[in-house]
Amino acid sequence: MEVKNLAIPAFKLAFTQADGVFELEVPAWRFTMAPIRELSILRGEGLEPMRPDASPELPGRTGPLWRLVSATALGGGAGLYLAYLYGYLPWQQRGRHFRAACRTVRTLSRAPGEPDYSSAYAAIHHAFNGVFGQPLFSEHLEAFFNDHPAYKPLREETEAFFASSYEFFFSEQPKETGFPISRLFRLCRDCYDIERNIR
């Protein structure tokens, strides 16, 4: 329970090699041993008293708050970005079905060679299915126009499209269409204008 000056005496280490043995002398090591607990230590003996324990610092409040705000903003931004990618934002709902179809038909119309009418018809059918909420066939067009009266001005063109699509996909004759790619795009664009203006 008191401070002491101690020493580890010097000693020798012997090492053996192939050509003999050599020794290495380790000098004495002097050190001061003191208890962790504060004792009465005299400065006259050249020993400094132990410093008092430092008071613990209280954790700051701003750090966790800013981290919470940053995490919330990051999570909200990521969620908003995902909603944008999947088209779930309110302003993206209007026109989203036929917007995608118009993009597909426009791309097909610009492709070299004969247009891929199968993909063009499929894209427009997919848009009609999305608006109707279920697969839309020609025998359900009456119900479609009753549920979505905004499309009635395009009724004649829509019925012609479905008739042409049925003939294109199910006719035994070589696949031909009375709808050139420009007419398909025009129908798609007109439907897109209607869909995005529906409130």
Residue 143 maps to a domain: yes
Question: Quick check: helix, strand or coil at residue 9?
Answer: coil
- Residues sharing a CB contact under 8 Å with residue 187, sequence separation 6 or more, in sequence order: 124, 154, 157, 158, 161, 179
Question: Quick check: helix, strand or coil at residue 29?
Answer: strand
Percent of the chain with pLDDT over 70: 81
Q: How far is CA 148 from the centre of its chain?
A: 35
CB neighbour class for 116 (10 Å; exposed up to 12, middle 13-18, buried from 19): middle
Domain that holds residue 15: 4-42
Q: Given this model, what pLDDT does residue 153 score?
A: 93
38 and 96 share a domain?
A: no
30 and 113 share a domain?
A: no
Segment 61-99, tens digit of pLDDT: 777 788 888 999 999 888 887 766 555 565 555 557 888
Number of domains the chain contains: 2
Q: Given this model, what pLDDT does residue 146 score?
A: 93
Residue 70 maps to a domain: no
Distance (Å, whole) CA 85 – CA 79: 10
123 and 32 share a domain?
A: no
Look at the block and give the residue holding tokens 């791309």.
107
**Kind plus residue range of the DSSP H or E element containing 92:** helix 90-93
Residue 72 maps to a domain: no
Look at the block and give the residue holding tokens 């088209």.
87
Q: What is the pTM of this model?
A: 0.53
- Residues sharing a CB contact under 8 Å with residue 89, sequence separation 6 or more, in sequence order: 80, 83
Q: Given this model, what pLDDT does residue 88 score?
A: 58
Please name which of 121, 128, 116 lies closest in space to residue 170, comparing C-alpha atoms: 121
96 and 22 share a domain?
A: no
